[in-house]
Structure 1
């Protein structure tokens, strides 16, 4: 490794760097197969920018960092200047309100994340062998950029646990949050998974799957060349309905789904429910190296249990059939617990410029981390899986 000084540049968009140069840091493992996750790839982030889902007028202004040594990119970071806190899923609205009530200006802020995507993955993206050096360079550049522009804060959302630990050692505040993930314990098929559940939960899931199948149509799981433009026409309608109810307006543009069709069909599992030859509901998943990521769901007809079937059970079916280790079903939702998805910790990092505000946030995060840890422990204990005889004896002792 050369001792030449690392140079940092800020990019106004992914168009300013070649896909191969970015991906050599973002997903070097993709040279031998799938990336760990598709969300930090050049093609995914470019689809967001080229479709107008992020950029001018959206509150997500690209400010991507690139660290180079001897002219070669050795580390990159997807980074945005944010004028609001929408579409992040690590919630800091309360921080913003408190800071502004005290006379501060919380926005704009910097955010290292994948827009609208609450999926854990690397955020300090380095070439192999540059993990520590590249990460340190990116942390320093992130803080310097925020301080230089007089910003209130900089944040790194849904980073890996190892990155969270390294960031904390570098002086960033560490936050612990929670999602629900399904884990593949070497199941042979869905019935094998059901056998690991308590009798009551097993019967409930079978009843839900049977009820979903009775909606009067068919459900298909599509990927790659099986996905056609007409499927995106249908899914856009589903997405608009969900987006208008959850967020007031959808985050993604119609053009984003066209870009997915052009560049990412092999990274996608699209579950479509059709009745009388007409798509009525669907779920969009992204395929990683060992994880299936559930992202969006929508419907134009209400059918009992169809949401659970399309979003959760078909995802489990795919993970088992393809030997994937995990399904991440997106943000929040305790209802996932009864369907085999257990609580899992997620991580983020935060730099706060104002010393007094930083201390207040640090105290809050300490208390929050304890509460999250206790909740994960309790929910896991009351999960849907069968208890061992020893556990049952301890509970009744």
Structure 2
């Protein structure tokens, strides 16, 4: 096996990368990572493991972080005090991370670790893997000196059958009645629902997203910052960045940004006007409208992510743990 590091995802053929990334998730896709390279707060690199014939067997992005604006990705916020790595291995965003390894190629994992270790050492630091899936944690944990650190829980809602009625039918009777009522009350309110590409509505969505961030204590995520973030995402992801939005008259009062990738529909951002009286506005934008589009697109699960886990359980989510693994070894010699 041959291990190398390249400076840009554009140095890796899309088909080679996507063969490993598609089963892993949106936030390790070639297109998403190309967008992350535009973020000025970190320098990216990519560890590649190939066989002698050149077939890509395993890979991982690496990020030397200079300024981390997201508290949930700051080592000092989520790791024990003795661990302060400045290199992230794997996905830097999305709260869903795993090394990219082909079937039967777990023997490549030590090579990915060693490459991350050397990359970090060149910059006078160490590395860590934030928000690893349960499966990734089990595979990587034997390679690191400290036990995994539990960070959050992750929710994935299975979508059985061929339509939203099949999804609702898969839930307990009490939940079926509740969801039908929430959908019916929302529909009766006369709120207009529109489907967009993000490129066509990022300014309106940015205003709502800034309000959502402010309500959660992220004061520096103002309208200009959130609009710019969505604009960059729209430019990078193109027609893959889909939005379902609710309108009262001509005003957007809620939106959900999501992606269909692999067999999963990935919720990326949801925000709504908390003062608007539309019934069950959040639940319809967060769950039921994206579920309808997921079925239309043919995906089989909705990735609902972290936080409000019990609300997601009540809507059928399977919940699994997300962990961090941090290295404290520096390269010797």
- Range of TM-score over shorter length: 0.7 to 0.9
- Residue 327 of structure 2: SS of its match in structure 1? strand
- Residue 339 of structure 1: SS of its match in structure 2? coil
Contact 1:87–1:116, Cα closer than 8 Å, also in 2:
no
| Alignment partner, residue 312 of structure 1 | 287
Q: Distance in 1 between matches of 2:103 and 2:164?
A: 40
| Alignment partner, residue 387 of structure 1 | none
Q: Distance in 2 between matches of 1:229 and 1:217?
A: 22
Contact 2:10–2:34, Cα closer than 8 Å, also in 1:
no
Q: Distance in 1 between matches of 2:78 and 2:95?
A: 19
Larger-gyration structure (1/2): 1
TM-score calculated relative to the size of structure 2: 0.80
- Residue 314 of structure 2: SS of its match in structure 1? helix
Q: Distance in 2 between matches of 1:281 and 1:297?
A: 8
Superposed CA offset, 1:50-81 (max 9, x none): 3xxx32xx3x3434434567796844322222
| Alignment partner, residue 26 of structure 1 | 17
Q: Does 1:156 align with 2:147?
A: no
Residues 127-166 of structure 1 mapped to structure 2, 5 A cutoff: 131-132=105-106, 134-151=108-125, 153-166=126-139
Contact 2:156–2:302, Cα closer than 8 Å, also in 1:
yes
| CA displacement at 1:270 relative to structure 2 | 1.1
| Alignment partner, residue 39 of structure 1 | 27
Q: Distance in 2 between matches of 1:248 and 1:338?
A: 31
Stretch deviating more after TM superposition (341-350 or 320-329): 341-350
- Residue 136 of structure 2: SS of its match in structure 1? helix
| Alignment partner, residue 59 of structure 2 | 76
Contact 2:198–2:243, Cα closer than 8 Å, also in 1:
no
Superposed CA offset, 1:30-56 (max 9, x none): 8xxx77533223322222333xxx32x
| CA displacement at 1:10 relative to structure 2 | 5.8
The number of aligned residues is 321
| CA displacement at 1:320 relative to structure 2 | 3.0
Stretch deviating more after TM superposition (66-75 or 240-249): 66-75
Cα distance change of structure 1 residues 290 and 97 upon mapping to structure 2, 3 Å threshold: closer
Q: Does 1:242 align with 2:181?
A: no
Q: Distance in 2 between matches of 1:29 and 1:155?
A: 21
Contact 1:291–1:327, Cα closer than 8 Å, also in 2:
yes
| CA displacement at 1:257 relative to structure 2 | 3.0
Superposed CA offset, 1:210-269 (max 9, x none): 2323443211344xxxx2743122112222222233333339653443344344234233
Residues 199-348 of structure 1 mapped to structure 2, 5 A cutoff: 199-222=173-196, 227=197, 229-246=199-216, 247-250=218-221, 254-300=227-273, 302=276, 303-333=278-308, 334-348=310-324
Q: Distance in 2 between matches of 1:321 and 1:62?
A: 36
Pairwise CA RMSD of aligned residues? 3.4
Unpaired segments ≥5 residues, structure 2: none
| CA displacement at 1:295 relative to structure 2 | 1.4
| CA displacement at 1:145 relative to structure 2 | 3.2
Q: Does 1:8 align with 2:16?
A: no
Q: Distance in 1 between matches of 2:167 and 2:76?
A: 39
- Residue 168 of structure 2: SS of its match in structure 1? helix
Cα distance change of structure 1 residues 279 and 10 upon mapping to structure 2, 3 Å threshold: same
| Alignment partner, residue 395 of structure 1 | none
